Amino acid sequence: MLTLDHLILRAADPAATLAELADRLGAPVLAPVAEVSGLTSGIVRAGALDLEVLRVGATPPARVGGYGLGFTADVPLPDASAALRSAGYPTSVAAKATAAGRSWRALQVHGLLPDPFPVPATTRHPGLMARATEAAAGVMTKIPAVAKAATRKSGRSMVVVTEYDFDASAWRAAAGHGPDVLAVEVGTGGCDWSHLPLEPGPLELRASGQTGITRIIFEGDGDSFTLGDVDFEFSSAA
């Protein structure tokens, strides 16, 4: 079972976008902007979800975009990958990343949003070659020059499943608590999510229209606003 863990926004200036989100949402900064494995990332905390602002790709986007989604699984990452592949969703090998003493592993899932981040992904069951590739991917994230070369193309979306190697709950609790997320509207571009084992949550999927995250609704009476292609709205309806 997959549980929505974080939302990924792509921006040309992650620091400015992160600061604006923290101010307008009244949300604490969980991780200031820093380079992680060839990407530039910062995180604010909103209820039970993280909002990650990411700079990826050689060409910065003209507007902030609702780039992707991050999930966690209720089984170890290799088992989650095998289940997703059996359901027909190609997955990448898991790559390890570290930042400020924290470490985690994540794999990418294709077939859920159009034009995904261009990493090799397959529905084949893992074998010796896949394990060797995974080991190489883990090494790649520790070599900034190689990682940067591998992230020059961004695609238009990213869906990941993450496994934390540290106490993420305690880390998040120490940062504080932003407004709860009531709904996350996502355009799938016609991709089939019907076989994805999703835990009930705030995701609202539609097949047509703009793809990626288009609207996030928070609990409360704050002022709604728009950043690039994403609407941020407040609702007092719990």
Mean pLDDT of the chain: 89
pLDDT in tens, 155-188: 999 999 999 999 999 999 999 989 999 999 999 9
Q: What is the pLDDT of residue 97?
A: 87
Structure token digits, residue 136: 């190489």
Is residue 220 helix, strand or coil?
Answer: coil
Closest CA to 4 of 166, 127, 184, 171: 184
Closest CA to 12 of 162, 227, 232, 231: 227
pLDDT in tens, 58-95: 888 999 999 999 999 999 999 999 999 999 999 999 98
Alpha-helix runs per DSSP H in the chain? 14-25, 77-86, 128-140, 144-150, 168-175
Chain-centre distance for alpha carbon 44 = 13
